[in-house]
Chains A and B, each alone.
Chain A
Amino acid sequence: MSAHGYKVVGTRPVRPDGADKVTGRAAYGADVHLAGLLYGAVLRSPHAHARIRRIDTRGAEALEGVRAVITASDFPPADAGRIIDLGEGQQTVAEVRGNMLASGKALYKGHAVAAVAAVNRHVAEEALGLIEVDYEPLPAVLTALEAMREDAPILHETLTRKELGTDTGEVSNVAEHFRFELGDLEQGLAEADVVVEREFDTATVHQGYIEPQNATALWNQDGRIHVWSSTQGAFVVRDTVAAALNVPVSRVKATPMEIGGGFGGKIRVYLEPVAALLSRKSGRPVKIVMSRQEVFEGTGPTPGSHIRVKVGARRDGRISAAYAFLAYEAGAYPGSMADCGAMCIFSPYDIANLCVDGYNIVVNKPSTAAYRAPGATNAAFAGESVMDEVAERLGMDPIDFRLRNAAHEGTRRADGPKFRRIGCVEVLEAMKNHPHYSAPLEGPNRGRGVAVGFWFNVGLASACTIGVNADGTVNLVEGSTDIGGTRASIAMQAAEVLGLRAEDVHPVVVDTDSIAYTAVTGGSRTTFATGWAAYEAAHDVLRQMKERAARLLETEPECVEYQDGVFRSGESRMTFAEVAARLNETGGPVTGRAGVNPRGAGGSYAGAIADVEVDPETGRVSILRFTSVQDAGKAIHPAYVEGQMQGGSAQGIGWALNEEYCLSPGGAMQNSSFLDYRMPTSLDLPMIETVIVEVPNPGHPFGVRGVGEANIVPPPGAIANAIYRAAGVRLSRLPMKPETVMEAIWAQRD
C-alpha cells in the first residue's frame, strides 16, 4: 500500500457512535438503571490530615430508607503489599484501598471515609450527616518544598525515601529521588557563553472532564461481581476491583459505559469497589455518582510542582548543558509522574550534557492522577520559558534557536533511549512557515510567543476480533473505551485493509467477558495499538476470505488477488460481499482475531504559537490567535486529530491562565465548583488553528504515532513567552492570572 494510495485512512467519515451521541441515546455511566437499584453516597473528611479515632455508623443505619453503611473495615482481608498495575502506574493494594476508603488516617480534605446505600440519593446524603467520625486533626503539609523539610509532618509512617534507586530506610514524605544524566553537566556549563537559571511554581490543576465519576455494582448471589462505570480502561476496573476485594479477576465483569471525558483522570478506580461492597451488604445493585465538589476534592488532580531549570548555550547557538530540578506533589500517595516530566522536558533538544533530578513527594492533597501528557506540561512551561530567554540573550529567533538544537533520529533522550525517526524538526519548520508566525502583530501590549513539547506515547496490549456479515460488512469487537472518536479511527484501519468503506465496519466496545485483555485508553495508544490489533485482525479475515474465494473460484488461495474489494483469479472475480454471502456453504463463519503488544510507539512533538494581549491596568491576558502544530505520524481521521489538538490547546490555555486549586491554610479547596475553578468557555478562546505534520512512525503499519497528549504541553510556555513580549515581564508561576501578571508588572515598574 503506498502512502498516497489510502482509500479510507485520512478521510473524515461520520463517527459510528455519532447518532446516539447527538440524540441523547448514548448511555453513560450515570444513565445505568437496574431493577431494585439503590443510590450510594460517600462521606468525606473535612480535614486535610487527621487521625480517625472512631466511626459510628449507627445513626445512619437507623435512618428509614438506608440499606447499607460501610467503612474501610468492610474490605475483606488481603495482602496489602501486593502491587496492582493500573495501566499508567502501579500501586499497592493498601494504597488503592486506602484512597477508596481511608483507614487509620484521612490524608486530604475530601478523602472518603464511609459510604451509604439508600433508596434514593437524597436519603443517602441525609444518612451521611448521621455518621459520626471522631477525628484528631493533624498539621497538614501542602506543597512539595514544605513536605521535603526535615521537620515536616509525615503522611505515611511506613513510607521510606528511595534515593537514586536504593531504599534509605528513612521515613519521609519524599517517596523517591531519581536522576537522569547524559554527558558531563559541569563541563557543558563551563563551555557556555550564556547561562540562564530560573525557578518556577505550577499550581495543582484538574482534568476537568464534564462527566463526574460514577459506578454501579451488583454483587450477585453466585458470587460474581458486575460493575458498570465510565472508565478509560475496563480491564483496569476489573483488575482493581478484584484486587481491592480480594477475589479472582474471573469473578469480576466490568462493563465500560460511554465516557464523558477522562484525560487520564478516569484510569484510577475510586467508586466501583465501594459500590460493590455496598451491594454485597444490601443484596441490591448500587449506583454512586460523584458531585462536582467530590470530583475536585476526591479525584486525581495533576501535580503542583516546584521546578528549577538551568540552561547554558554557546555563542554559536548550540545548547551545551541543561539541568532541571523537578519536585512534584504526588498528593496523598506516592506516584507523581515526575519521571515523565524528566523524560520530556529536554526531549525537543539534542543536548550532549544534561541532568534532571526528580522528586516524587507526598502532600496532603488528593492523590494525583494522570492528566494528558502527565508531568510534561509543568516541566515544559519551565523549560520553554528558559529556552526563550536563552534565545533572546543570544539574539536568535526563538524558532531558529530551537531548530539549531532540535532533536532528531539518533538523539538520546534524558533517560537513555535513542530516538528513532521523529518529527521535531518538521514541527518546528511547520511553525516557522505558518502564516501566523510571520503575520504582523500590531498594537500596544501585544506579543507573540512560541514553545514546543514532547510526549513519548505508549504501546501496551490490545485485542480485536472481526466477524464477517453475510451482507459484506464486518463487526469489529474491541476493548478500548472510546473517549474521542477511536471507534472511528480503529474501524477505519480495518476498513483500509479489507477494502471496505468506513461505514461497513461496525465497531463495538465490549465488557471484559467479551474480549481479551486490552490496556487503558491512555498514553495516546488507542489508535496506535488497538488500531494495530484491528489491522492484524483484518489481515486474518482477508487470509480466510481468500481461501473461501479460492474455493468458489475453483483455484488455490495463492492464486487469488484482492484489491479494492474484489477477489480475482485470472478472468474470474468475486466481490468481498459475494464471498461473504456464501460463507456457510464454504466452511462456516469467518472470524479474524489479533492480540498485540507493540513496542514501536513513536513519540510525538507539538508546537504552539500564541498571540496575546495583556491589559496593563488589570493584568488580564486575552488570547488573540492560537496555532497548534503536531506530528501525528499518520492522521487516520484528521478531523478527530484536529479535535485533539484543539482540545489539548484549550486545556493548556486554561492551565496557563486560570486554573488552580485555591487551598485554605488548612488544605481545604476553596473553589471546588465550575463557577470558581475557571475552565475556558467558548467566550475565552479564539478559533484554534491546526497544522497536522505527518512524519510516519516506522513502528506502525500506517505510521500512526498517537495524538492525544503532546498538544497540551507547549501552550503554557508559549503564552508565558508571548506575555513577555507583550508586557516585558517573565512570569514564573502558573496560572498567569491577572494578579500574578500585575504583581510582575508592578515589580518591574519599581
Chain B
Amino acid sequence: MQTLTRVRAIVNEQPVEFLCEPRQSLLECLRDILGLTGSKEGCNDGNCGACTVILDGRPVNSCLVLGVEAEGCRITTIEGIARGTELHPLQRAFLNQAALQCGFCTPGLIVAAKALLDEDPDPSEERIRAFLANNLCRCTGYDKVVRAVQDAAAAGREEVPA
C-alpha cells in the first residue's frame, strides 16, 4: 500500500480535502474518493475527453492530471455546471437539440463547451469543431452537438444585459 497524501482544493465552489495515493489520477479521486462520478473514463490516456473538467479556468483531461497536482486548484466538474435548480444554457441546449444519445460523452462535452463559451461567447462553427475535437462522441456525428453549442452561445449572449 502506498502512502497517502493530503490534497486540498476547491471543487464546484466547495472546499474539499481528501487523501490519495500519488499514483491516483484526478479522475480517480473525483470518482472514487469524492463520489463525483459524472466525469467519465473512456480511455484513461487523454484521448477521449469524457473526463474533461475545468481546472483553474482551463479544460483538462482529468485522467492525465494526478490527484496530488490538484492541491490548491479550483476545479469545475459536470456536477458544478447547473446554476442551483436551473440547468445551464448548455445543458438546456443539449436537451432541446437532442445532442446526446447514450450520454456518456455528454459531461465532458458540456464542460469543454463551457470552457469555450467562457473564453469566446460567439464562436464560429469552425471554432466549436476545433475546440471540441478532443471530445469523442461515437453516437451523434457531432451535428446536433455543434448546434447545441451554437444555441447555448446565442442564449448566453441574450442573458447579458445590453
Contacts and interface: CB of A to CB of B under 8 A. Distances in A.
A483 B142 CA distance: 16
Nearest to A261: B102
A46 interface: no
Nearest to A484: B101
A639 interface: yes
B146 A682 contact: yes
A491 B130 CA distance: 37
A637 B37 CA distance: 29
Contacts of A681: 132-134, 136, 142
A35 to B, nearest CB: 14
Contact of A22 (B40, B46, B94, B141): B94
Contact of A122 (B23, B81, B144): B23
Nearest to A209: B138
B104 A210 contact: yes
A679 B138 contact: yes
Interface in B94-144: 94-98, 100-107, 110, 125, 128-130, 132-144
B140 A211 contact: no
Contacts of A212: 41-42
A484 B47 contact: no
A260 B103 contact: yes
A74 B36 CA distance: 35
Contacts of B106: 21-22
A260 B129 contact: no
B82 interface: yes
Interface residues of B, number: 60
B151 interface: no
A675 interface: yes
Contacts of A27: 37
B40 to A, nearest CB: 7
Given A24-B38, A24-B79, A640-B101, A682 B133 contact: yes
A646 B141 contact: yes
Interface in A670-701: 673-675, 679-683, 685, 687-688
Contacts of B41: 30, 212, 289
A19 B106 CA distance: 11
A283 interface: no
Given A12-B98, A64-B1, A260 B44 contact: no
B126 to A, nearest CB: 9
B138 A261 contact: yes
A682 B128 contact: yes
Given A261-B139, A485-B98, A683-B133, A292 B23 contact: no
Contacts of B40: 28, 30, 210-211, 260
B154 interface: no
Contacts of B50: 210-211
Given A24-B78, A31-B37, A650 B103 contact: no
Contacts of B98: 12, 15, 485, 637, 639-640, 642-643
A76 to B, nearest CB: 32
A263 interface: yes
Contact of B95 (A15, A28, A640, A651): A15
A329 interface: no
A692 to B, nearest CB: 13
Nearest to A687: B143
Place the interface of chain A in its size category.
35 or more
B43 A211 contact: no
B29 interface: no
Given A21-B100, A675-B45, A263 B138 contact: yes
A258 interface: yes
Nearest to A12: B98
B140 A210 contact: no
B141 A649 contact: yes
Most B CB contacts (10 A, CB to CB) among A14, A208, A261, A289 go to A261
A382 interface: no
A745 interface: no
Most A CB contacts (10 A, CB to CB) among B39, B45, B141 go to B141
The dominant DSSP class at the A interface is: loop
A683 B21 CA distance: 37
Interface in A632-670: 637, 639-640, 642-644, 646-647, 649-651
Nearest to A32: B37
A259 interface: yes
B87 interface: yes
Contacts of A675: 45-47
Contacts of B21: 122
Contacts of A438: none
A4 interface: no
A465 B96 CA distance: 28
Interface in A20-69: 21-28, 30-31, 33, 64-65
B37 to A, nearest CB: 4
A169 interface: no
Contacts of B75: none
A673 B42 contact: no
Contacts of B104: 28, 209-211, 258, 260-261
B96 A14 contact: yes
Contacts of B137: 210, 682
A26 B104 CA distance: 9
A706 to B, nearest CB: 15
Nearest to B99: A643
A644 B143 CA distance: 11
A18 interface: yes
A122 B32 CA distance: 13
Contacts of A688: 141, 143
A680 B145 CA distance: 14
A258 B100 CA distance: 13
A65 B1 contact: yes
Contacts of A28: 40, 104
Nearest to B46: A675
A544 interface: no
B77 interface: yes
A673 B43 contact: yes
B147 to A, nearest CB: 8
A147 to B, nearest CB: 30
Nearest to B45: A673
A291 interface: yes
B48 interface: yes
B102 A259 contact: yes
A23 B106 CA distance: 9
B141 A685 contact: yes
Interface string B46-80: 11101000000000000000000000000001110
Nearest to B81: A23
A650 B44 CA distance: 24
B54 to A, nearest CB: 13
B116 to A, nearest CB: 12
A258 B103 contact: yes
B115 to A, nearest CB: 15
Contacts of B1: 64-65, 123
A26 B43 contact: no
B42 A211 contact: yes
Contacts of A260: 40, 42, 102-105
A623 to B, nearest CB: 11
Contacts of A687: 125, 143, 146
B141 A647 contact: yes
B37 A23 contact: no
B140 A647 contact: yes
Contacts of B45: 292, 673-675
Which 9 pairs between the two chains have the least Cβ-Cβ distance?
A24-B38, A260-B104, A650-B141, A21-B103, A646-B141, A24-B78, A674-B47, A639-B98, A484-B101
Given A292-B47, A682-B133, A682-B135, 10 more contacts: A24-B39, A26-B103, A122-B21, A210-B48, A210-B50, A260-B42, A674-B47, A681-B142, A682-B137, A685-B142
10 contacts: A15-B95, A19-B87, A28-B104, A31-B37, A210-B48, A211-B102, A212-B42, A646-B140, A650-B140, A683-B129
